[in-house]
Amino acid sequence: MPNITLPDGSVRKFDASVTGLQLANDIGPGLAKAALMVLVDGVECDLDHEIKQDSNVSLITRSDDLALKLIRHDCAHVMAAAVQELFPETQVTIGPSIENGFYYDFFRKERFSQDDLETIEKRMHELIDRDDKVKREVWNRERAIEHYKGLNEPFKVELVEAIPEGEVLSFYRQGNFLDLCRGPHAPSTRHIGHAFKLMSVAGAYWRGDSSRPMLQRIYGTAWPDEKKLKAYLLMLEEAEKRDHRRLGRELDLFHMQEEAVGSIFWHEKGWTLYREIEAHVRRRLEAGAYREVKTPQLIDKALWEASGHWDKFRENMFTAESEDDRTLALKPMNCPGHVQIYKQGIKSYRDLPLRMAEFGSCHRNEPSGALHGIMRVRAFTQDDAHIFCTDDQITSESIIFCDLLRQIYKDFGFEDIHVKFSDRPEVRAGDDSTWDRAETALRNACDAAGLETTLNPGEGAFYGPKLEFVLRDAIGRDWQCGTLQVDFVLPERLDANYISQDGSKCRPVMLHRAVLGSMERWIGILIEQYSGRFPMWLAPVQGVVTTITGDADTYANIVFEKCKKAGLRIGKDLRNEKINYKIREHSQAKIPAILVVGEREEDQGTVAIRRLGGKTQEILALDEAINKLVQESTPPE
């Protein structure tokens, strides 16, 4: 005789157990029709799940956020059903919902083509219109394994075998299609709706393991309604327009070519942007009492062996031989170098915390498939620093760092940040008690800094746990940039010491930290964030002086020189072209301000400023205009 408490607090009493659907009917037929699943004390269940005890229950319809996951998962099932109808020789494996959609991994000798995707999509619409009932069944292991063996579905057999003894094995049947699945699902296929689209097919390793067979993964996107689907597709188009690789070329920022795969040729404008970003971070670091250093590019492999990197990352390190037969490695990171500087002279507890920063250019031989524009390259520069401190200082240093990080992100227009806590990986250096200490210290620091974190299990660095700072850009994409890592291992391995208050020799802790991550990737992110329309202080060219006709050339030159003298990054365009033509060209080059001068401006000693994207102009006295632009070009305080 369950008492059902609904989200609005009202309670319904039933004489016997009740299904979600019966409950929905009891509330109203409209709800019964719209309901997709039921949430019983926070657990997602099918609509025909029997509720036997007093519970808090809410019925989920397609307008709920939770429904999205369900619709996508259902969509994955329908896709698998469609594929098996069309291509019966295909083996099905797994198909979850993911951010923005779903996928399903198939094993099939022949490749799915783009045309196949269209055929599959068409069949999916038909299956949805068929409105097959979706029914849950519970099987025992032996039956499940026999079933899949009989169908020659070895991947499914493996899945069943991997499910721990004692766990319920549920299957879902819709029409002729049956799939091993935890559920829940909507009661019939029509609930999926038609706001979905198959996007692409690509390879994916079975169980994410590169030593195992490669399956074909079909990706799709699905939404509660057409409008949301369209909005998503539009967002993808927008992302493509913002692509830093396209804008990098269009705005003449950089290029890349075959002879230097994974390295960037920075053009003047891109390098200006780079230097401006570096200068800003440097200002913030100086204010934060960091000491900037520079360490060697090539270091004997002996140091990398001592640090442990050679063991773990040898494959990804570029090496060179010197005439005395030494093997040198291009540094893939800066920490061992920083420890060498730290170790010069005896350090006292009075020297700690010691914040050692470097814009460290590193080389890593990334696998070819990992390269992506300037976001993932083989030669990059970290805004790196290592804080050498005592155990007691970990918390305060972490808090100070988080403040710095938030400030810098804000300077670049990012305010939406979340933090991931990555704990010990399977393969690691240092014993468990050391890891206990490091993880506890970092957790305490998070608490003290008031950071909310999500756990990222097993994703820590091999020498210590880490925080990863993820920011959200203007079109809702997440980028992992900053990091803070606690390291008790490297100081030990490389024998870094300090003399404590009581005269004894102690190990410092190293905090590895970066805000931007890599300069190159950061610039890629900024290009996409701003869509190439950089704020004045970052814009490679802040303004262009241009003329209505050649009569204004002399005055334009005066304006240009004055702007230059005031420190503005200014260009001039005295070509004999129509003003429309020149406005269009500089607008397309995304120059923030166009300073137009003609006869009128010359007579009155003014300039007409037209802002990027604006339709109007602002007429100001020359000095006033320059002051204003200089003001706007000042980096964030």
Q: Taking CB under 7 A as the rule, which mask of x and - marks residues 366-395 in contact with RNA?
A: xxxxxxxx--x-------------------
Question: Taking contact as CB under 7 A, which single stretch among the options 9-17, 176-184, 294-302, 583-591 is the one that binds RNA?
Answer: 583-591
Q: Rule CB under 7 A: is residue 327 a binding residue for RNA?
A: no
Task: Output 344 or 580, the one with its CB closest to RNA.
Answer: 580
As measured in angstroms, the least distance from the Cβ of 89 to RNA is 17
Q: Position 171: which residue type?
A: F
Three-class secondary structure of residue 407 per DSSP:
helix
Q: Rule CB under 7 A: is residue 577 a binding residue for RNA?
A: yes
Q: Rule CB under 7 A: is residue 158 a binding residue for RNA?
A: no
Residue 364 is a catalytic residue? yes
Residue 190 is a catalytic residue? no
User: What are the φ/ψ torsions at residue 431 (nearest 5 degrees)?
Assistant: -85, 170
Q: How far apart are CA 97 and CA 367, in angstroms?
A: 28
Q: Rule CB under 7 A: is residue 528 a binding residue for RNA?
A: no
Task: Output 115 or 432, the one with its CB closest to RNA.
Answer: 115
Q: How far apart are CA 27 and CA 15, in angstroms?
A: 16
Question: Taking contact as CB under 7 A, which single stretch among the options 22-30, 345-353, 397-405, 587-595 is the one that binds RNA?
Answer: 587-595
Residue 386 is a catalytic residue? yes
Q: How far apart are CA 152 and CA 148, in angstroms?
A: 6
Question: Taking contact as CB under 7 A, which single stretch among the options 10-18, 81-89, 361-369, 393-401 is the one that binds RNA?
Answer: 361-369
Which ranges of 199-330 does DSSP label H, i.e. alpha helix? 226-242, 244-250, 268-287, 301-307, 309-313
Q: Rule CB under 7 A: is residue 232 a binding residue for RNA?
A: no
Out of 269, 512, 521, 590, which one is annotated catalytic? 512
DSSP for residue 220: E
As measured in angstroms, the least distance from the Cβ of 528 to RNA is 12
Q: Rule CB under 7 A: is residue 322 a binding residue for RNA?
A: no
Q: Rule CB under 7 A: is residue 588 a binding residue for RNA?
A: yes
Residue 384 is a catalytic residue? yes
Q: How far apart are CA 172 and CA 154, in angstroms?
A: 19
Task: Output 163 or 371, the one with its CB closest to RNA.
Answer: 371
Task: Output 6 or 579, the one with its CB closest to RNA.
Answer: 579
Question: Taking contact as CB under 7 A, which single stretch among the options 53-61, 149-157, 170-178, 579-587 is the one that binds RNA?
Answer: 579-587
Our measurement of the distance from residue 550's CA atom to the centroid of its chain's CA atoms, rounded to an integer in Å, reads: 50
The strand order across the sheet containing 35-40 reads 11-13, 3-5, 55-61, 35-40, 43-45
As measured in angstroms, the least distance from the Cβ of 178 to RNA is 26
As measured in angstroms, the least distance from the Cβ of 182 to RNA is 20
Which DSSP string do the residues of 486-532 spell out, in sequence order?
A: EESHHHHHTT--EE-TTS-EEPPEEEEEEEEEEHHHHHHHHHHHHTT
Task: Output 548 or 626, the one with its CB closest to RNA.
Answer: 548
Out of 386, 424, 572, 590, which one is annotated catalytic? 386
| The only residue of 86, 202, 289, 475 in contact with RNA, by rule CB under 7 A | 202
β-strand 319-321 against 478-487: which pairing, if any?
Answer: unpaired
As measured in angstroms, the least distance from the Cβ of 245 to RNA is 5
| The only residue of 228, 583, 632, 636 in contact with RNA, by rule CB under 7 A | 583
As measured in angstroms, the least distance from the Cβ of 39 to RNA is 29
Q: Rule CB under 7 A: is residue 458 a binding residue for RNA?
A: no
Number of residues written out for the chain: 637
Q: How far apart are CA 153 and CA 105, in angstroms?
A: 13
Task: Output 125 or 372, the one with its CB closest to RNA.
Answer: 372
User: Left, alpha or beta for 559 (phi > 0: left; psi -120 to 50: alpha)?
Assistant: alpha
Q: Rule CB under 7 A: is residue 261 a binding residue for RNA?
A: yes
Q: Yes or no: say if 83 and 228 are a contact pair by the CB < 8 Å rule.
A: no
- Residue closest to 530 by CA, chosen among 374, 412, 376, 377: 412
Question: Taking contact as CB under 7 A, which single stretch among the options 47-55, 73-81, 210-218, 495-503 is the one that binds RNA?
Answer: 210-218
Question: Taking contact as CB under 7 A, which single stretch among the options 119-127, 131-139, 267-275, 612-620 is the one that binds RNA?
Answer: 612-620
DSSP for residue 40: E
Residue 618 neighbours by CB under 8 Å, 6+ apart: 608, 609, 610, 611
Q: Rule CB under 7 A: is residue 214 a binding residue for RNA?
A: yes
Residue 562 is a catalytic residue? no
Which DSSP string do the residues of 5-18 spell out, in sequence order?
A: EPTTS-EEE-SS-E
As measured in angstroms, the least distance from the Cβ of 108 to RNA is 11
As measured in angstroms, the least distance from the Cβ of 183 to RNA is 24
Out of 376, 466, 582, 586, which one is annotated catalytic? 466
Q: How far apart are CA 72 and CA 224, in angstroms?
A: 9
- Residue closest to 487 by CA, chosen among 471, 503, 467, 501: 467
Residue 84 neighbours by CB under 8 Å, 6+ apart: 90, 92, 177
Widest CA span in the chain: 94
Q: Rule CB under 7 A: is residue 599 a binding residue for RNA?
A: yes
As measured in angstroms, the least distance from the Cβ of 486 to RNA is 12
Q: How far apart are CA 39 and CA 20, in angstroms?
A: 9
Residue 77 neighbours by CB under 8 Å, 6+ apart: 95, 172, 174, 177, 179, 181, 185
Q: How far apart are CA 576 and CA 88, in angstroms?
A: 68
Residue 512 is a catalytic residue? yes
Q: Rule CB under 7 A: is residue 99 a binding residue for RNA?
A: no
User: What are the φ/ψ torsions at residue 526 (nearest 5 degrees)?
Assistant: -60, -40
Task: Output 20 or 373, the one with its CB closest to RNA.
Answer: 373
| The only residue of 111, 325, 345, 415 in contact with RNA, by rule CB under 7 A | 111
As measured in angstroms, the least distance from the Cβ of 612 to RNA is 6
Task: Output 7 or 203, the one with its CB closest to RNA.
Answer: 203
- Residue closest to 90 by CA, chosen among 170, 134, 152: 152
| The only residue of 512, 523, 527, 591 in contact with RNA, by rule CB under 7 A | 512
Q: Rule CB under 7 A: is residue 344 a binding residue for RNA?
A: no
Residue 573 is a catalytic residue? no
Task: Output 565 or 584, the one with its CB closest to RNA.
Answer: 584
Binding site for RNA (CB under 7 A): 111, 200-205, 208-210, 214, 216-217, 219, 245, 249, 256, 258, 261-262, 309, 312-313, 316-317, 332-333, 335, 364, 366-373, 376, 461-462, 485, 512, 548-551, 576-581, 583-584, 587-588, 594, 596, 598-601, 608, 610, 612-613, 615, 617
* Residues known to be catalytic: 335, 364, 382, 384, 386, 466, 512
